[in-house]
């Protein structure tokens, strides 16, 4: 293992993770709202926000799927060392990391009628993230909000499965925004 | 308490709770199972709320705890002290100053802002539990969106009493999908469930977490001809004169004389500070409170 | 005029101070040491370890002292402490076949290799108060036998050789951990056993007793009850082999129960299993009976609607820490919800009375 894998973790895990979680939680509660996070420096091409999200939410109990664009030894070592998360196929994943092109939504678990929470959360690296583009509505949004999303149809299909479905965390540099399954995208 | 981690729980436990909270926010009103831990306080005394607060708090937070609306009830004091010790957070009794509020049985009178989080302690998270004791069965009902049993119960109330005989823990439907127990808040508080703040519900013993994101539609169940009514005692607060707040009833003498005062002690004190005086109140003095 | 009183903080502090004084009792009586509790109230220590799910006699003894002998309170202290402990890894399963037995009895065979060993049991004591203990604790001499290296094979292995006892399917490599994953139903047998072994002794005993009285009777014979020490081993990946990290005292009970059979399958006995930390045989036997009762579905039996057959009922109500917390929480303030009921009942009565009055007029 390269020494690089050992670096870039939280300096003070309990408080770094607490701050990061608050940002992620706020973003999940308010779809479209962009939060800033810091505290992790993962190997490229992973963004700071993806790194922070992984350190905050993943551990040996959360199987992770890596998309093609991030499936490099350096990244595998980093995730394994810092989180202990097992790397798995898409169908067994609780979390997935990759670019939009990397991730085939149909491959991931969307939960069951009795346990809709047994579904994957996709951490998607996006090239731009700002409050323009698609219109979002639903829980957490006062009237409507706007977010640059990589697709619209896919999220509309996802919404149709509600309460089953996938939840998304879009990351870009040190910023992130969320799109839970409950959001209506147009 | 330096032997314990920030906010008491170990990091792996907090991650597990945090993942459950995110799922709860993504599926409003759905009860997410989580592996509740044994806490150093009894099950039934707020362990669910405490675990959620522990997973949510940062060192920058200002924390408020209320039980029955009051900051000074013994269990509220005990929980507040726990986080003062284990998380080193600032604490407050002022609703306005708090960034995270843990509550048992009330929603503060003052509207919460969008940067505030309300954490509820929940004894029995399953709204259908007293109609169907089996978890296997109620889970099926939620899956199939089969809530007929609840409507039958409410309807039977009406035929027997002429009104819906549920006064607290009044069931609601969240975003048109899940029927949810809002915890044993009086139904007076139900309209406040649609708010700007994030609401998180923790049931420790029953191992469930659920959530209502801001501005989520929350409808109290009712019938067209028997609409939901948020009721309170038909009095004003005897200390501050408020007519819009939920009231506690006190027995004040051997003849059974009654007085009424705000259950939300911070709200009451705030009004008294502004100069409001109720029928049996005294002008606010700093040392009396 | 009314001035709202505050005093929650001070009330709590004072209550704690008083509690500490009561715990100590009359200070002219010598203070009890943790070592004395550990050595002389060993069965209480064992129960606290078993239901606290933490094998540490010193901490269990401390918890008993701190809780003034309230064992459920002591179990609670241990559980809360246990939650905070980091996990370094999992041990290999203990092998009770290699147990060094202090006690080993079989109710099904008069004798078997390893013999019947009565051990330090209350069984044949006459339950007469021993007033000598009130005066002093001088011991008579206990005769000692030579220790034996002879193996003590499980009684079940002899039935197994004849194919008379149902063989058990191997479970998953690592079963779910009840304390780390939320209980979901139906639960695997591994999870049920975890729940029973830490369940309240009184509850499990009552459930087991109910099966004996006919609520899902399963005709249990104690094939074997063994109590003794077993080694705990852990694989160390860096070393490539397992090393001994300590030893535990456990009680194991295997019951042989009514047989099953069908046109295609010759009859076989079935089994119930109990395994509990420490010398805790009442609990281990109870556990085996309840385990057996809960297995009705996998053994193709009828559900006769008995409480001990109801997995959800047993598993959700056996934990005394959950039960005591929720039971006792009803003494916390409920002004708000009670007030809402008061208003509602007053309103309903007013309406009912005016309806009656109208009818009378």
Place of tokens 């005769």: C143
Q: Is the pLDDT of residue C344 over 70?
A: yes
Residue B278: active-site member = no
Q: Is the pLDDT of residue C2 over 70?
A: no
B11 pLDDT exceeds 90? yes
Phi, psi torsion values for C35, nearest 5 degrees: -65, -40
Instruction: Assess whether B69 carries a catalytic annotation.
Output: no
* CA–CA distance, C25 with C202 (Å, rounded to integer): 28
3-state secondary structure at position C231: strand
Q: For C13-51, how does the pLDDT look when each residue is reduced to its tens digit (9 = 90+)?
A: 999 999 999 999 999 999 999 999 999 999 999 999 999
Cβ-count burial B144-179 (b if 16+ within 10 Å, e if not): eeebeebeebbeebeeebebbbbbbbbbbbbbebbb
Q: Which of B202, B204, B262, B278 is catalytic?
A: B262
**8 Å CB contact between B171 and B214:** no
Q: Do C348 and B78 touch (CB under 8 A)?
A: no
The mean per-residue pLDDT over the stretch C77-88 comes to 88
pLDDT at C5: 59
C183 falls in which pLDDT band (50, 70, 90)?
confident
Give pLDDT, residue C84. Answer: 82
Kindly report, residue by residue over B144-159, the tens digit of the pLDDT.
Answer: 999 999 999 999 888 8
Residues 6+ apart with CB under 8 A from B225: none
pLDDT digits (tens, 9 = 90+) for B107-137: 999 999 999 999 999 999 999 998 999 999 9
Those residues whose C-beta lies under 8 Å from the C-beta of residue C174, and which sit 6 or more positions away, are C90
Selecting from A22, A56, A58 the residue whose C-beta is nearest the C-beta of B56 gives: A22
Helix ranges (DSSP H) in B40-198: 47-56, 74-87, 135-144, 148-161
Chain C residue with CA closest to B8: the answer is: C84
The answer to whether B71 and B266 have CB atoms below 8 angstroms apart is yes
pLDDT band at C218 (very low <50, low <70, confident <90, very high): confident
- For C213, the token pair is 């009285």
Q: Is C13 on the interface with B (CB under 8 A)?
A: no
Look at residue B247 and give its three-state secondary structure: strand
User: Is residue B24 annotated as a catalytic residue, yes or no?
Assistant: no
Cβ contact, residue pair C343, B231, below 8 Å: yes
Instruction: Using pLDDT thresholds of 50, 70 and 90, give the confidence band for residue C184.
Output: confident
This model of the complex carries an ipTM of 0.97
Which stretches of chain B sit within 8 Å of chain A by CB? 5-7, 11-12, 14-16, 18-23, 25-28, 30, 32-33, 55-60, 114, 139-140, 142-144, 175, 177-178, 196, 198, 211-217
What is the band of C148 on the pLDDT scale with cuts at 50, 70, 90? confident
Q: Would you place residue B2 in the very low, low, confident or very high pLDDT band (cuts 50, 70, 90)?
A: very low
| A105 Cα to chain B: minimum distance (Å) | 17
C-alpha A182/C-alpha A162 separation (Å) is 7
Note the pLDDT tens digit of each residue in B195-245. Answer: 999 999 999 999 999 999 999 999 999 999 999 999 888 899 999 999 999
Average pLDDT over residues B163-170: 90
Which pLDDT does position A2 carry in this prediction? 54
What whole-number distance in Å separates Cα of residue C24 and Cα of residue B80?
Answer: 28
As a whole number, the mean pLDDT across chain B is 93
CA-angle at B78, arms to B75 and B81, nearest 5°: 150
Residue C122 buriedness (CB in 10 A; 0-12 / 13-18 / 19+): exposed
Which residue in B43, B158, B257 has the most chain C C-beta atoms within 10 A of its own C-beta, making it the best mutation to test that interface? B43
Interface B-C: count of C-beta contacts within 8 A: 159
B49 is catalytic: no
Structure confidence at residue B1 as a pLDDT band (50, 70, 90): very low
Rounded mean pLDDT of C329-344? 90
CA dihedral C40, C45, C47, C53 (to 10 degrees): -160
> Is B26's CB within 8 Å of A182's CB?
yes
Run of H or E including B209:
strand B208-212
A182: distance to nearest CA of chain B, Å? Answer: 6
Residue written as tokens 């996990």? C87
By CA distance, what is C16's nearest residue in B? B78
User: How many of the other CB atoms lie within 10 Å of CB of B95?
Assistant: 21
Check residue C153 and give its pLDDT.
93
Name the CATH superfamily housing domain A3-185. Bacterial phosphonate metabolism protein PhnH (3.40.50.11310)
Give the DSSP per-residue string, A32-73. Answer: T--EE--S--PSTTS-HHHHHHHHHH-STTS-EEE-GGG--H
Per-residue pLDDT of C265-301, as tens digits, reads: 788 899 999 999 999 999 999 999 999 999 999 888 8
pLDDT in tens, C200-212: 999 999 999 999 9
B50 or C360: which leads in pLDDT: B50
Both tokens of A50, joined, read: 């993806």
Catalytic pick among B24, B46, B69, B240: B240
**CA of A186 vs chain B CAs: smallest distance (Å):** 18
Question: What is the share, in percent, of chain C residues with pLDDT greater than 70?
Answer: 98
Q: Count Cβ–Cβ pairs < 8 Å, chain A vs chain B.
A: 114
What contacts C239, CB < 8 A, 6 or more positions away?
A: none
Of C86, C312, C329, the CB nearest to B134: C312
Q: Report CB contact under 8 Å: B5, A58.
A: no
**Which chain B residues contact residue A17 at CB under 8 A?**
11, 14-15
Q: Cβ contacts of residue B252 below 8 Å, gap of 6+?
A: B258, B259, C2
Under 8 Å between Cβ of C308 and C314: yes
pLDDT classification of B289: cutoffs 50, 70, 90 = very low
Instruction: Give every residue of chain A whose pLDDT is below 50, as ranges.
Output: 1
Nearest CA among C186, A119, A111 for reference residue B136: C186
Tell whether the model's pLDDT for residue B286 goes beyond 80: no
Residues from chain B that touch C325, judged by Cβ atoms under 8 A, are 42-45, 47, 205
Q: Distance between CA atoms of B157 and B118, rounded to whole angstroms? A: 31
Question: Which residues, in sequence order, are CB contacts of B213 under 8 Å at separation 6+?
Answer: A28, A29, A30, A139, A140, A182, B25, B28, B198
Catalytic residue among B46, B48, B197, B268: B268
The model's pLDDT over B78-114, given as tens digits with 9 standing for 90+, comes to 999 999 999 999 999 999 999 999 999 999 999 999 9
**Which residues are CB-neighbours of C5 under 8 A, at least 6 positions away?**
none
Catalytic: B202? Answer: no
Q: What are the boundaries of each domain within chain A?
A: 3-185
Query: Residue C143 has what pLDDT?
Result: 87
Q: pLDDT at residue B285 above 80?
A: no
């Amino acid at each position: 293992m390269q020494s690089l894998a050992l670096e870039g973790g939280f300096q003070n895990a309990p408080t770094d993770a607490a701050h990061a979680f608050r940002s992620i939680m706020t973003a999940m509660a308010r779809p479209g709202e962009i939060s800033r996070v810091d505290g992790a420096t993962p190997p490229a091409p992973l963004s700071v926000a993806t790194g922070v999200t992984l350190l905050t939410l993943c551990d040996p109990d959360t199987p992770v799927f890596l998309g093609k664009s991030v499936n490099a030894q350096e990244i595998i070592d980093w995730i394994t060392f810092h989180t202990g998360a097992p790397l798995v196929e898409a169908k067994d994943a609780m979390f997935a990391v990759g670019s939009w092109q990397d991730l085939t939504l149909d491959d991931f678990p969307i939960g069951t009628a009795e346990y809709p929470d047994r579904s994957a959360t996709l951490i998607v690296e996006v090239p731009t993230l700002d409050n323009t583009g698609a219109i979002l509505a639903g829980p957490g949004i006062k009237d409507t909000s706007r977010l640059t999303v990589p697709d619209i149809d896919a999220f509309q299909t996802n919404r149709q499965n509600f309460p089953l479905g996938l939840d998304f965390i879009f990351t870009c540099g040190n910023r992130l925004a969320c799109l839970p399954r409950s959001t209506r995208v147009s | 308490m330096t032997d314990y981690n920030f906010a008491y729980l170990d990091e792996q436990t907090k991650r597990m709770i945090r993942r459950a909270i995110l799922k709860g926010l993504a599926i409003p009103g759905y009860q997410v199972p989580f592996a509740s831990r044994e806490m150093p306080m009894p099950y039934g005394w707020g362990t669910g709320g405490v675990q959620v607060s522990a997973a949510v708090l940062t060192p920058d937070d200002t924390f408020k705890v209320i039980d029955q609306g009051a900051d000074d009830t013994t269990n509220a004091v005990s929980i507040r002290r726990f986080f003062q010790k284990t998380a080193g957070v600032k604490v407050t009794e002022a609703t306005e100053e708090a960034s995270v509020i843990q509550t048992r049985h009330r929603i503060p009178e003052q509207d919460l802002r969008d940067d505030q989080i309300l954490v509820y302690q929940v004894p029995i998270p399953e709204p259908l539990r007293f109609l169907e004791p089996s978890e296997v069965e109620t889970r099926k009902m939620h899956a199939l969106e089969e809530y007929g049993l609840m409507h039958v119960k409410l309807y039977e109330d009406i035929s027997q009493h002429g009104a819906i005989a549920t006064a607290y823990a009044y069931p609601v439907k969240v975003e048109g999908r899940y029927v949810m127990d809002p915890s044993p808040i009086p139904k007076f508080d139900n309209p406040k469930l649609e708010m700007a703040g994030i609401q998180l519900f923790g049931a420790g013993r029953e191992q469930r977490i659920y959530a209502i994101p801001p501005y989520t539609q929350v409808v109290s169940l009712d019938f067209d001809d028997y609409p939901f009514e948020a009721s309170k005692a038909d009095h004003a607060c005897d200390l501050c004169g408020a007519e819009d707040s939920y009231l506690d009833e006190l027995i004040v003498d051997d003849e059974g004389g009654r007085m009424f005062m705000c259950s939300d002690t911070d709200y009451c004190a705030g009004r008294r500070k502004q100069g409001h005086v109720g029928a049996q109140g005294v002008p606010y003095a700093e040392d009396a409170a | 005029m009314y001035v709202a009183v505050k005093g929650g903080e001070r009330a709590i502090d004072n209550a704690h101070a008083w509690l500490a004084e009561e715990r100590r009792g009359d200070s002219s009586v010598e203070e009890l040491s943790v070592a004395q509790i550990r050595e002389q109230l060993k069965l209480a220590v064992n129960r606290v370890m078993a239901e606290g799910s933490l094998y540490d006699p010193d901490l269990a003894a401390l918890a008993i002292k701190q809780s003034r002998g309230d064992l459920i309170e002591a179990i609670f202290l241990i559980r809360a402490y246990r939650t905070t402990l980091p996990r370094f890894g999992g041990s290999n399963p203990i092998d009770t076949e290699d147990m060094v037995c202090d006690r080993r009895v079989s109710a099904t065979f008069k004798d078997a290799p390893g013999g019947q060993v009565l051990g330090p049991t209350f069984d044949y004591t006459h339950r007469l108060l021993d007033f000598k203990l009130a005066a002093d604790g001088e011991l008579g001499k206990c005769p000692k036998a030579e220790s034996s290296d002879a193996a003590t094979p499980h009684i079940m292995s002899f039935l197994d050789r004849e194919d008379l006892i149902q063989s058990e399917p191997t479970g998953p490599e690592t079963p779910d951990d009840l304390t780390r994953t939320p209980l979901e139903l139906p639960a695997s047998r591994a999870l049920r056993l975890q729940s029973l072994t830490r369940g309240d002794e009184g509850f499990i005993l009552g459930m087991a007793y109910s099966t004996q009285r006919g609520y899902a009777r399963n005709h249990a014979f104690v094939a074997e009850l063994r109590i003794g020490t077993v080694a705990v081993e852990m694989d160390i990946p860096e070393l490539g082999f397992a090393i001994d990290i300590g030893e535990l005292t456990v009680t194991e009970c295997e019951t042989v129960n009514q047989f099953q059979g069908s046109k295609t399958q010759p009859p076989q006995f079935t089994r119930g299993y109990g395994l509990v930390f420490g010398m805790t045989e009442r609990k281990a036997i109870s556990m085996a009976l309840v385990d057996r009762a809960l297995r009705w579905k996998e053994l193709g039996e009828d559900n006769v609607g008995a409480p001990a057959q109801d997995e959800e009922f047993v598993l959700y109500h056996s934990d005394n820490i959950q039960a005591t917390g929720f039971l006792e929480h009803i003494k916390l303030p409920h002004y708000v919800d009670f007030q809402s009921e008061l208003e509602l009942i007053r309103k309903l009565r007013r309406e009912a009375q005016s309806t009656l009055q109208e009818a009378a007029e």
